[in-house]
């Protein structure tokens, strides 16, 4: 096998817009497979005040009355997949290329962990029952089954593409994940209680994959002789540390003045990177940093170290694929001691809104925020925070390469690829080649 080419997609929110991204992927004739990294459906209703549904009525993307509710029971989850499969763009894509799939949180409920979810309350009944019913509907509709006899939920498995790629598909969501930490529990009158936070987020007891899946992954990486070890999974693995004062604003959803603060901090960081002098106070502002997203691997740092340490010890070429954030990213993956281990390529969403909407950014603020975040997050090499799209990842013996493509709108069926913002990154195999590069 000389090459393998995957299209990577995630986060298709039906009321948020048209599946123009699926349409674009279906036009390609060069794909071996589509990898769907989750949020194939969302559990919300399409009421105007529901997540990302403000335009649903205008776009004629509301759900039929019998399914226009938050999904909790099996019959409703089941029906939602049927509605999605009526979408012509999704149908066309399924008719052309096979899918390799994993779920993320919204196949059950927002920000799920093993025994609960942010979008589940006791009035909605027992969470374990809801989860099993949601996962049952997924198994009924998607090309995937539990990997063990007697299991209702284990889906970690490896796809082998000759001796070129071993694609290890993971469940970071429902099987072994501890509850997410919340910054609001760590803020004091003087800011973030960094010592207590660092101890908790790095605890060796904290799990994401869980012991069984982690053991399997380490063994699989050990057995594999393929050139590329690829993790197909939901959430960002890269270290995305941002200044604590920004995190306070984000965690308290106080977005006024955020673009200006980001600009100021980025300017200080630029001076520091250029070897300029900062006052002690200025240095403290940018060096007091913590992870931006505690729902990502950044919130589960011990297991991240175990995975990266395993790849390092085995001298493997590691490429991590991620979805979940609705934005496109490329990260250099380093262990806590700063050793470069591998790279991460993350895809934008099919239609769910991204950081631009969450941070309430407009116009020039978007480019400013991209530049600022790019400077402030050390391991981050590329980002697009405001467009919907997909990613193609091509593996050969010489390189692994990601190409990102973005549509200019999901709010109209009349759309185009925004070619000005297409982007690429690559990485070479071997101990000297494991950094992101920008192809010529
Ligand atoms: Fe999503």
What does each of the 440 residues of the chain score in pLDDT, given as a tens digit?
899 999 999 999 999 999 999 999 999 999 999 999 999 999 999 999 999 999 999 999 999 999 999 999 999 999 999 999 999 999 999 999 999 999 999 999 999 999 999 999 999 999 999 999 999 999 999 999 999 999 999 999 999 999 999 999 999 999 999 999 999 999 888 878 989 999 999 999 999 999 999 999 999 999 999 999 999 999 999 999 999 989 988 888 899 999 999 999 999 999 999 999 999 999 999 998 999 999 999 999 999 999 999 999 999 999 999 999 999 999 999 999 999 999 999 999 999 999 999 999 999 999 999 999 999 999 999 999 999 999 999 999 999 999 999 999 999 999 999 999 999 999 999 988 889 999 98
For the chain, what is the largest distance between any 2 Cα atoms, rounded to a whole number of angstroms? Answer: 63
Instruction: Say how many Å lie between the CA of residue 323 and the centre of ligand 1.
Output: 8
Nearest residue to 101 via CA among 177, 7, 193: 7
pLDDT score for 433: 83
User: Token pair of 314, please?
Assistant: 């085995």
User: Rounded to whole angstroms, how far apart are CA atoms 5 and 28?
Assistant: 11
Start-to-end Cα distance in the chain: 25
Instruction: Say how many Å lie between the CA of residue 408 and the centre of ligand 1.
Output: 19
pLDDT score for 188: 87
Kindly list the distances between the CA atom of residue 141 and the CA atoms of 128, 153, 341, in Å, as whole numbers in the listed order.
20, 15, 37
Instruction: Name every residue whose Cβ is closer than 8 Å to that of residue 338 and which is 6 or more positions away in sequence.
Output: none
Instruction: Say how many Å lie between the CA of residue 119 and the centre of ligand 1.
Output: 13
Please count the CA atoms within 13 angstroms of the CA of 265 that sit on its side-chain side.
28
Kindly report each contact of residues 202-206 with a partner whose C-beta sits within 8 Å and lies 24 or more positions away, as own/partner. Answer: 202/301, 202/302, 203/302, 204/302, 205/302, 206/178, 206/300, 206/301, 206/302, 206/303
Sorted by where each begins, the domain ranges of the chain are 4-240+292-352+388-427
pLDDT score for 97: 97
CB atoms within 10 A of CB 124: 15
Instruction: Say how many Å lie between the CA of residue 327 and the centre of ligand 1.
Output: 10
- pTM here is 0.97
- What CATH architecture does domain 4-240+292-352+388-427 belong to? 4-Layer Sandwich (3.60)
Instruction: Say how many Å lie between the CA of residue 41 and the centre of ligand 1.
Output: 9
User: Rounded to whole angstroms, how far apart are CA atoms 303 and 213?
Assistant: 11
Instruction: Say how many Å lie between the CA of residue 391 and the centre of ligand 1.
Output: 15
């Amino acid at each position: 096998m000389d090459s393998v080419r995957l299209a990577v997609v995630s986060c298709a929110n039906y009321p948020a817009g048209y599946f123009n991204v699926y349409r674009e992927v279906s036009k390609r004739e060069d794909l071996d497979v589509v990898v769907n990294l989750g949020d194939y459906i969302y559990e919300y209703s399409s009421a105007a005040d529901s997540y990302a549904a403000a335009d649903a009525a205008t776009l004629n993307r509301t759900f039929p009355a019998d399914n226009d509710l938050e999904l909790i029971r099996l019959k409703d989850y089941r029906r939602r997949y049927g509605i999605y499969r009526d979408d012509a763009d999704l149908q066309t894509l399924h008719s052309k290329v096979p899918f390799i799939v994993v779920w993320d949180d919204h196949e059950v409920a927002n920000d799920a962990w093993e025994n609960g979810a942010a979008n589940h309350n006791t009035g909605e009944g027992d969470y374990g029952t809801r989860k099993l019913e949601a996962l049952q509907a997924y198994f009924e509709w998607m090309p995937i089954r539990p990997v063990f006899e007697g299991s209702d939920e284990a889906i970690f498995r490896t796809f082998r593409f000759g001796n070129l790629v071993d694609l290890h598909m993971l469940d970071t969501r429902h099987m072994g994940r501890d509850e997410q930490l919340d910054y609001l529990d760590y803020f004091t009158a003087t800011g973030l209680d960094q010592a207590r936070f660092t101890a908790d987020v790095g605890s060796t007891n904290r799990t994401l994959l869980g012991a069984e899946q982690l053991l399997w992954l380490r063994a699989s990486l050990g057995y594999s002789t393929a050139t590329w070890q690829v993790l197909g999974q939901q959430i960002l693995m890269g270290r995305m540390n941002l200044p604590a004062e920004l995190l306070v604003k984000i965690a308290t959803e106080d977005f006024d003045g955020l673009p200006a603060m980001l600009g100021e901090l980025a300017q200080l960081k630029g001076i520091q990177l250029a070897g300029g002098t900062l006052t002690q106070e200025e240095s403290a502002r940018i060096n007091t940093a913590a992870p931006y997203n505690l729902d990502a691997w950044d919130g589960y740092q011990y297991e991240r170290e175990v995975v990266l340490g395993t790849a390092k010890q085995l001298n493997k070429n590691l490429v991590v694929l991620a979805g979940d954030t609705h934005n496109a990213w490329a990260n250099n993956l380093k262990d806590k001691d700063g050793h470069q281990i591998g790279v991460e390529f993350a895809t934008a969403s099919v239609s769910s809104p991204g950081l631009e909407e969450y941070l309430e950014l407009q116009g020039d603020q978007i480019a400013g925020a991209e530049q600022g975040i790019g400077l402030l997050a050390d391991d981050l090499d590329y980002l697009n925070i405001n467009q919907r799209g997909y990613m193609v990842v091509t593996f050969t013996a010489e390189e692994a390469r990601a190409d990102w493509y973005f549509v200019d709108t999901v709010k109209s069926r009349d759309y185009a690829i925004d070619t000005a913002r297409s982007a690429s990154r690559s990485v070479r195999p071997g101990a000297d080649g494991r950094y992101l590069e920008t192809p010529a």
